[in-house]
């Protein structure tokens, strides 16, 4: 046989057959700082969040927040990581559009519900810093647990309209469930926020979005930071739900609660902008978290099909298993790309594009649910049992499709943002 080389030899990369991708898939080059932070967060997600989330899932809502609950160990160990709004501010700005969503993907990879809890833990400080209210930022310790008080019992996915206090569910006006009334240099709060406030019954302060009356009737809105140890603040029972059970949620009640007016961080004239700002941030963050949860389902399924034998051979040899795994991988990569792209745009453009954040959130949460469902299919009967983690991932992902605005309502709002108001 003639094996002589014909002509010149080209430089062609060898086909490796199998490439071991990094944990976050088709990841581009990272800086040394990014690699170090993500390695630490990934270990925390795998070694602390996931086992604690599994344990909390089996407890009642009351047991999950009781003294001695592993929830408090999770908060303590997260505090030891040093990941605060202040520490993120020290990282070069050009690194944040990759690092921040990557961090929250890792946390979602550990446990989606606990990742949301940690996100709202930091949310009030994030917006005090972003909106230039460092005077309040420094008065409230970053170690205290925050929450985001916006949703109300009578207004699920609806939010305050542009004028602040008027709601339009089904086209009909309805009154707010919470009203802030200006009295001299104080704001008096009366009413409640709904049972869906994340960290609601354990939070020590809240970023409160509320209807506002400064003497002209309840036709406006403000955003305030409110300490939740003030007289007149009470909390409801922790919510019992099928998914994201480690995430504490519950009502907050206000009965003639007096708050200094200086705690207002978005004035009535700024309210519409404040709604836009936080929805763009929250939906973008949700996209990163639930990309992580989708990745967890994919990895669990990929590992399982290598160990599960049926018919005398590992089931990964079946064509249909390979087919399913590929589409799960593809969906996770699409979700990650959408989450990163939306975050990059929103933090480098003059103003965030809410439709981008919504598209990322809807994509990621739907992906988390679909990939978890495919994982259960690959686990077979075992996937239906609580012994295996994919059952919990499916329940958690299903809740995410309603959380922070149900996906259908968000899509309508996102669609409205695509329409040019000047187009005839």
Q: With beta carbons less than 8 A apart as the criterion, state whether 92 and 286 touch.
A: no
Does 351 have pLDDT greater than 60? Answer: yes
Give residues with Cβ within 8 angstroms of 146, minimum separation 6: 120, 121, 122, 123, 124, 125, 199, 203, 204, 205, 206, 207
Predicted local distance difference test score (pLDDT) of residue 187: 98
Q: Quick: pLDDT tens for 279-296.
A: 999 999 999 999 999 999
Q: Quick: pLDDT tens for 98-149.
A: 999 999 999 999 999 999 999 999 999 999 999 999 999 999 999 999 999 9
Q: Quick: pLDDT tens for 139-194.
A: 999 999 999 999 998 876 555 444 444 444 444 566 889 999 999 999 999 999 99
Predicted local distance difference test score (pLDDT) of residue 220: 86
Tell me what the mean pLDDT of segment 11-15 comes to. 90
Using CA atoms of 359, 361, 366, 368 in order, give the dihedral in degrees to the nearest 10. Answer: 140
Q: Quick: pLDDT tens for 323-343.
A: 999 999 999 999 999 999 999
Does 400 have pLDDT greater than 90? Answer: yes
Predicted local distance difference test score (pLDDT) of residue 55: 98
Predicted local distance difference test score (pLDDT) of residue 169: 40
Whole-angstrom distance, CA of residue 249 vs CA of residue 247? 6
Domains of the chain, start order? 32-137 (1.10.540), 146-269 (2.40.110.10), 272-416 (1.20.140.10)
Enumerate the β-bridge partners of residue 212.
180, 220
Whole-angstrom distance, CA of residue 178 vs CA of residue 153? 10
More confident residue, 19 or 171: 19
| Burial group, residue 184, by CB count within 10 angstroms (0-12, 13-18, 19+) | exposed
Whole-angstrom distance, CA of residue 12 vs CA of residue 8? 12
Q: How confident is the model at residue 376 (pLDDT cuts 50, 70, 90)?
A: very high
Instruction: Supply 292's token pair.
Output: 């992580």
Distance of CA 357 to the CA centre of its chain: 12
Q: How confident is the model at residue 29 (pLDDT cuts 50, 70, 90)?
A: very high
The residue whose two tokens read 């990929």 is: 302
Predicted local distance difference test score (pLDDT) of residue 155: 73
Does 412 have pLDDT greater than 70? Answer: yes
Q: How confident is the model at residue 269 (pLDDT cuts 50, 70, 90)?
A: very high
Instruction: Supply 367's token pair.
Output: 């992906």
Predicted local distance difference test score (pLDDT) of residue 421: 78
Predicted local distance difference test score (pLDDT) of residue 423: 60
Neighbours of 387 (CB within 10 A): 8
Q: What is the 3-state secondary structure (H, E, C) of the chain?
A: CCCCCCCCCCCCCCCCCCCCCCCCCCCCCCCHHHHHHHHHHHHHHHHHHHHHHHHHHCCCHHHHCCCCCHHHHHHHHHHHHCCCHHHHHCCCHHHHHHHHHHHHHHHHHHCHHHHHHHHHHHHHHHHHHHCCCHHHHCCCCCCCCEEEECCECCECCCCCCCCCCCECHHHCCECCCEEEEEECCEEEEEEEECCCCECCCCCCEEEEEEEEECCCCCCEEEEEEEECCCCCEEECCCCCCCCCCCCCECCEEEEEEEEEHHHEEECHHHHHHHHHHHHHHHHHHHHHHHHHHHHHHHHHHHHHHHHCEECCEEHHHCHHHHHHHHHHHHHHHHHHHHHHHHHHHHCCCCCCCHHHHHHHHHHHHHHHHHHHHHHHHHHHHHHHCCCCCHHHHHHHHHHHCCCCCCHHHHHHHHHHCCCCCCCC
pTM for the complete prediction? 0.93
Highest mean pLDDT of the ranges 94-98, 214-218, 417-421? 94-98
In whole numbers, what is the pLDDT of the chain averaged over residues? 92
199-233 burial, b for 16+ CB within 10 Å, e for fewer?
A: bbbbbbbbbbbbbbbbeeebebbbbbbbbbeeeeb
Predicted local distance difference test score (pLDDT) of residue 419: 86
The residue whose two tokens read 């690959």 is: 378
Q: Quick: pLDDT tens for 290-327.
A: 999 999 999 999 999 988 878 777 878 788 999 999 99
Q: Quick: pLDDT tens for 360-370.
A: 999 999 999 99
């Amino acid at each position: 046989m003639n094996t002589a080389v014909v002509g010149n030899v080209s430089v062609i990369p060898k086909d490796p057959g199998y490439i071991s991708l990094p944990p976050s898939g088709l990841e581009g080059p990272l800086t040394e700082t990014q690699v170090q932070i993500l390695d630490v967060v990934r270990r925390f997600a795998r070694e602390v969040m996931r086992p604690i989330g599994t344990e909390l899932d089996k407890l009642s809502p009351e047991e999950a927040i009781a003294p001695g609950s592993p929830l408090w160990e999770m908060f303590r160990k997260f505090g030891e990581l040093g990941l605060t709004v202040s520490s993120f501010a020290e990282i070069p700005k050009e690194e944040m559009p990759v690092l921040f969503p990557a961090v929250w993907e890792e946390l979602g990879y550990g446990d989606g519900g606990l990742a949301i809890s940690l996100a709202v833990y930091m949310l009030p400080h994030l917006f005090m810093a972003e909106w230039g209210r460092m005077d309040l930022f420094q008065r409230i310790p970053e170690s205290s647990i925050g929450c985001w008080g916006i949703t109300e019992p009578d207004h699920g996915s609806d939010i305050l309209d542009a004028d602040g206090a008027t709601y339009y569910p089904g086209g009909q006006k309805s009154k707010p469930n919470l009203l802030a009334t200006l009295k001299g240099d104080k704001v008096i709060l009366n009413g409640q926020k709904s049972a869906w406030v994340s960290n609601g019954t354990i939070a020590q302060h809240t970023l409160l979005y509320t209807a506002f009356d400064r003497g002209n009737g309840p036709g406006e809105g403000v955003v305030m930071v409110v300490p939740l140890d003030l007289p007149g603040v009470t909390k409801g029972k922790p919510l019992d739900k099928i998914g994201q059970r480690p995430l504490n949620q519950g009502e907050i009640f206000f009965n003639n609660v007096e708050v200094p007016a200086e705690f207002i961080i978005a004035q009535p004239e700024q309210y519409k902008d404040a709604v836009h700002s936080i929805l763009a941030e929250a939906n973008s963050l949700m996209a990163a978290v639930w990309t992580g949860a989708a990745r967890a389902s994919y990895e669990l399924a990929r590992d399982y099909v290598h160990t599960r034998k049926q018919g005398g051979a590992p089931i990964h040899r079946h064509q249909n298993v390979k087919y399913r795994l590929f589409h799960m991988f593809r969906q996770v990569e699409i979700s990650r790309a959408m989450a990163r792209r939306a975050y990059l745009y929103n933090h480098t453009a003059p103003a965030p594009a809410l439709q981008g954040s919504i598209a990322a959130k809807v994509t990621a949460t739907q992906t988390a649910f679909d990939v978890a469902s495919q994982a259960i299919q690959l686990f077979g009967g075992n996937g239906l049992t609580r012994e295996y983690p994919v059952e919990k991932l499916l329940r958690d992902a299903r809740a995410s499709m309603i959380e922070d605005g149900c996906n259908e309502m968000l899509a309508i709002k996102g669609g409205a943002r695509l329409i040019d108001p000047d187009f005839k």
